[in-house]
Amino acid sequence: MIRRYIASISTSILKRTCAAAAVLAVTLGCSSTKPPNTAAPSGSIDESAVLAQSPTSLLAQNRNKTRKSLSLPSCPQNDAFTESINFATQASNLAQSANSKQDWDEVAALWVQAVAWMQAVPPGSPRRAFAEKKVIEYMRNLVYSQQQASATRAQASTVSFSSDLLNEQLQLYLSYVAAVGPPDVLIVGSSRALQGVDPKQLKQSLAQRGRPGLKVFNFSVNGATAQVVDFQLRRLLKPGHLPQMIIWADGVRAFNSGRDDRTFNSIVDSEGSQLLAAGIRPELLSDEPNEIPLCYRFPQPCANNNFRKAFTSIDRPWSGTGILPVAENAAGGQDTHPPIKFLSSGTGILPVASNAARYELKPIAADAANQKAQLIPVSRRTTVALRHVNQLADSIDSNGFMAMSGKYNPNTYYRERAYVSGQYDRDYENFNLGGKQAAAFNSVVAFTKARKIPLIFVNLPLTNDYLDGTRLRAEQQFRQRMQQLSRQKGFAFRDFSQRWPGRNDYFVDPSHLNRFGASAVSSLLAADSSIIWPLPKSRRSDG
């Protein structure tokens, strides 16, 4: 599951990460500083022996000089290798006695420092080859510490919407909004959208076409039907958390009212839905810890070294996903949770500070015409927690996208799974494009129109193997219906269903795109000159 990152671990990803971490350290500001070169007890781990054998350099001889302020672009008077070993020693020692989330967060922070300083060993140094191997080892230790912090945090009492992925996506979305504000463009849909539209690629492609700075988030959920999307947009999210534009990416399966809508039914019967019915909407806790954070010194840019390029290019568009390698996922079934191997339970460079979610008790008065939710602030609050799903956290990136790397090969795919034709596919059972799903779709269209939120529906690509006679007839009916509704109701419809019927390398299974197909779909959308993309609502970037 761990992607092939070993060979490239010392290239641009970590350079950018170290640079970004340095900027964060400068921006946040702290009240106290923990010296990074504090000596750890000797003999605690094998790092001490390595440190003792380190050759003395001119930089090492000047370790007693007074350090300059973090804000000054000066070269550190420290030996990067020695600094890294010291941080690694501290992390290893603390890990021996860590028994709380705070302890493991600190262990993770120390491993981040160890990685940053070890990566700063100059390329021309005789220590470089050894340092590159240590970076890989330290990264593994960082992942482990994140897992421990997350496992400790997950022991809290929980309230669920009976959908693991909806719980995870909701928590991530609320955290995203708290960090950078509502996205300019929100992607919704089922697993086909979750794996089929890459927010970061869409953002980068739009920036290349003169629309820089747009924030894009994928709030898709496995098994989502039109009813689930309607629930997400109208009932789950507060008006202030809605985007400027919505891209609904999916296909005919989400609109078949004859099928059993198991995902929506379980959500409606959940405890979280009962709270919503009582006017209690989800909201993340905003209480900041009273502890004084520790300040660390990251490697600073120096003249004629490898950090200058990293610092000067930090604001350029980048499609990377962060300090940790992206988790590689196995192919999943249709609207089911795919079998996944996981590298880490964290979703960023450090574990999220809190998993609890606060629900604000507010009576909701329904407007029959527009079905708006009128929120009336009250003083009493109740606190519950969204269930933290360790197994899903690392399979989804910071913008809600699940990248799948596998490529569909019909010669091997059906050796492990039976072929199911459309005639016996439950997603097409009692096929009916009217009924409850049509009503939910009309509700979403009216909802977005009332709030002047442009809605773009994208019929995602499918393979030739998937489009047998039954499914092809359903696709034709769906296409005709959506084209008619788009003219009548004023939303945009883009039909990509048969865009790449023979491009199996764009798919992870017959009906789900992989990350290459998702990138291609995102690029197609960005290149569509008929789409009037919004202007960035906020200057805050989502990275």
CA distances from 412 to 1, 70, 417, 483, 509 (A): 19, 55, 9, 37, 11
Per-residue model confidence (pLDDT) at position 490: 95
> In this structure, are residues 149 and 346 in contact, taking their beta carbons and an 8 Å threshold?
yes
- CA 252 from centroid of its chain's CA atoms: 26
Question: What does each of the 543 residues of the chain score in pLDDT, given as a tens digit?
Answer: 333 333 343 344 334 444 434 433 333 334 333 434 443 333 333 443 333 333 333 223 333 434 333 343 444 456 899 999 999 999 999 999 998 888 999 999 999 999 999 999 999 899 999 999 999 999 999 999 988 887 765 444 457 899 988 998 998 999 999 999 999 999 999 999 999 999 999 999 999 999 999 999 999 999 999 999 999 999 999 999 999 999 999 999 999 999 999 999 999 999 999 999 998 888 776 656 566 666 677 787 565 554 444 443 333 333 333 333 333 333 333 333 333 232 333 322 323 233 334 333 333 333 333 333 332 222 333 333 343 444 555 689 999 999 999 999 999 999 989 999 999 999 999 999 999 999 999 999 999 999 999 999 999 999 999 999 999 999 999 999 999 999 999 999 999 999 999 999 999 999 999 999 999 999 999 999 999 999 998 778 887
Tokens 């954070």 appear where?
Answer: 293
What are the two backbone dihedrals, phi and then psi, of residue 493, each rounded to the nearest 5 degrees?
-125, 125
> In this structure, are residues 530 and 486 in contact, taking their beta carbons and an 8 Å threshold?
no
Per-residue model confidence (pLDDT) at position 150: 74
Q: What's 57's DSSP letter?
A: -
Per-residue model confidence (pLDDT) at position 62: 37
CA distances from 326 to 138, 217, 269, 395 (A): 17, 17, 34, 8
Helix (H) or strand (E) holding 339: none
Per-residue model confidence (pLDDT) at position 302: 60
With 0.75 as the threshold, say if the pTM is over it.
no
**Which residues lie closer than 8 Å to 70 by C-beta, 6 or more apart?**
25, 26, 295, 297, 300
